[in-house]
Amino acid sequence: MKLSYPQSSKPAEVSPSDWMDWTWQLRHSLKTEKDFERVFDLTSDERAGFEGGKELFQIRCTPYYASLASRENSKDPIRRILMPTASELHMGAQAMLDPLGEKRNNPAPRIIHRYPDRLLFLVTDTCSVYCRYCTRKHFTGNDEAFVRSTDYDQALSYIKSKTGLREVILSGGDPLTLSDSILDRVLSDLRSIEHVEIIRLGSRMPVVCPMRVTDGLVSVIKRHHPVVLMTHFNHPRELTREAADAVLKMVDNGVPVFNQLVLLNGVNNHPAVIQALSRRLMYLRAKPYYMFQCDPSEGTDHLRTSIEDSLDIQRELWGSLSGLAMPTFAVDIPDGGGKTNLTPNFEIARGENHRTYVGWDGVRADYVNPPAQGLIKPIDAEMYLAEWESLKNAKL
């Protein structure tokens, strides 16, 4: 079986070499209402979004990503991701400028440290596409392409001082909007810190500007293995031939790829859409990792699904999608509470020593508990316990 992937619709007046040049894509980004009306038939609702949303959040889209959306249909799923609308001006049920409480977990410039063994390093505030559901509107879009040198040095000093750290996640903004040379510097500096084991790159560039994944970029990343790429595909139509080639270039060169999607009303809130995306990602050897509930950032209420509807999607997928392709459904607890994973509840009854379940296909059975034995006591328990205590007691 060979899956086919559509290609983007390059305008006739643009040369193939320009179209496949990521720097050309960024230089020719759509930023104003006039830019967008050359590509789309704008509705009055969208024009109101341009006019009223100027102070709320920046507007930008690569020509490549704009070419994936319908010119005429305002309900097109890709168009809903990239296009401002009047709905953003209504705060709705819950509207938070900093829904994940990042400002309270910001112990050093550009550092978000919520979990003991990993942190986020916000190396840029710039994205090539400003998705309308962005959770980091309090930070992203201020056009500071790379962190100031004093802030950068303080951030590195903080990372060096926290010996309990094992992972650094480069985020922003989008770290792949940085040049190869700057990215090489950042990766080199992090790799020189002995206790940093894994570096993650969180990027939507393989989705919205896949021509960014060049041989040069891959060479930079390979020099600093292990580096994991966290992509952000939300819809099967984002997996074009160009995007698929970008993913394959990464995995073929030993870069593991994990995908995190956000459930969005009118974009992907249907089991068939998630299944199609997940299967295509797995075919490319990219692991569907998380399926997130949309965070309640300002102006996103019209894009948020209910948790009940999201669980229904997951339940529908449970028996028809391999565990390899099944993303974990998670909600980020507002105000910095961290992630909580949610799954459909298949338990229907509980007794003193048994639990009764009904599976996805209706099979009902009891699971009878053996007597509780407590936790095992391995020979090296003291060593493991000491390591665990040191990790638990690591100060943020």
Distance in angstroms (rounded) separating the CA atoms of residues 177 and 171: 11
Residue 352 has pLDDT above 90, yes or no: no
**List 61, 134, 209, 294, catalytic entry:** 134
Question: What pLDDT, in 10s, does the model give residues 19-30?
Answer: 999 999 999 999
- Select from 141, 137, 139 the least CA-distant residue to 128: 141
Alpha-carbon 276 to chain mean position: 18
* Confidence label for 389 from pLDDT (cuts 50, 70 and 90): confident
Residue 17 has pLDDT above 60, yes or no: yes
> Looking at this protein, which amino acid is placed at residue 293?
Q
Q: Helix 215-222 vs helix 180-191: angle between axes, to the nearest 10 degrees?
A: 10
Residue 353 has pLDDT above 80, yes or no: yes
Catalytic residue list contains 114: yes
At residue 384, the pLDDT reads: 74
- Select from 257, 292, 285, 232 the least CA-distant residue to 100: 292
Catalytic residue list contains 132: no
* Confidence label for 1 from pLDDT (cuts 50, 70 and 90): low
Residue tagged 């919520």 (tokens)? 114
Q: What are the residues facing 96 on neighbouring strands?
A: 297
Matching CATH number, 102-341, of 3.20.20.70, 3.40.50.1820, 3.50.50.60, 3.30.70.2740:
3.20.20.70
Q: How far apart are the first and last CA of the chain?
A: 49
Catalytic residue list contains 115: yes
At residue 392, the pLDDT reads: 62
**List 118, 185, 279, 315, catalytic entry:** 118
**List 79, 110, 114, 200, catalytic entry:** 114
**Cα dist from 291 to 85, 263, 332, whole Å:** 25, 7, 11
> Looking at this protein, which amino acid is placed at residue 72?
E
Question: What pLDDT, in 10s, does the model give residues 274-328?
Answer: 999 999 999 999 999 999 999 999 999 999 999 999 999 999 999 889 999 999 9
Catalytic residue list contains 245: no
Kindly state the greatest CA–CA separation across the chain. Answer: 74
62 within 8 A of 129, measured Cβ to Cβ: yes
Region 149-167: mean pLDDT is 96
Each domain of the chain, given as residue ranges in start order, spans 16-89, 102-341
Q: Cα dihedral sign for 313, 316, 320, 324? A: positive
Residue 388 has pLDDT above 80, yes or no: no
Residue 376 has pLDDT above 80, yes or no: no
Residue 383 has pLDDT above 80, yes or no: no
Q: Are strands 328-333 and 338-341 parallel, antiparallel or unpaired?
A: antiparallel
Distance in angstroms (rounded) separating the CA atoms of residues 214 and 234: 23
**List 98, 125, 174, 332, catalytic entry:** 332
List CB contacts of 372: < 8 A, sequence separation 6 or more: none
* Confidence label for 371 from pLDDT (cuts 50, 70 and 90): confident
* Confidence label for 56 from pLDDT (cuts 50, 70 and 90): confident
Catalytic residue list contains 209: no
Distance in angstroms (rounded) separating the CA atoms of residues 234 and 232: 6
Question: What pLDDT, in 10s, does the model give residues 111-151?
Answer: 999 999 999 999 999 999 999 999 998 887 666 678 889 99
**List 136, 137, 162, 212, catalytic entry:** 136
At residue 374, the pLDDT reads: 80
Catalytic residue list contains 125: no
Distance in angstroms (rounded) separating the CA atoms of residues 364 and 346: 10
315 within 8 A of 326, measured Cβ to Cβ: no
At residue 92, the pLDDT reads: 83
Least confident piece of the model among 93-102, 190-199, 272-281: 93-102
At residue 5, the pLDDT reads: 86
**Cα dist from 280 to 5, 154, 269, 286, 321, whole Å:** 9, 41, 17, 9, 12
**List 60, 76, 125, 131, catalytic entry:** 131
Share of the chain above pLDDT 70, in %: 96
Catalytic residue list contains 98: no
Enter the pTM of the model.
0.92
Average pLDDT of the chain, as a whole number: 92
Q: Are strands 198-202 and 167-171 parallel, antiparallel or unpaired?
A: parallel
Catalytic residue list contains 295: yes
224 within 8 A of 191, measured Cβ to Cβ: yes
* Confidence label for 394 from pLDDT (cuts 50, 70 and 90): low
Buried b / exposed e over 35-64, threshold 16 CB at 10 Å, is bbeeebebeeebbbbbeebeebbbbbbbbb
List CB contacts of 63: < 8 A, sequence separation 6 or more: 11, 14, 19, 25, 28, 29, 30, 39
Q: Which two tokens stand for residue 164?
A: 């309990």
At residue 91, the pLDDT reads: 80
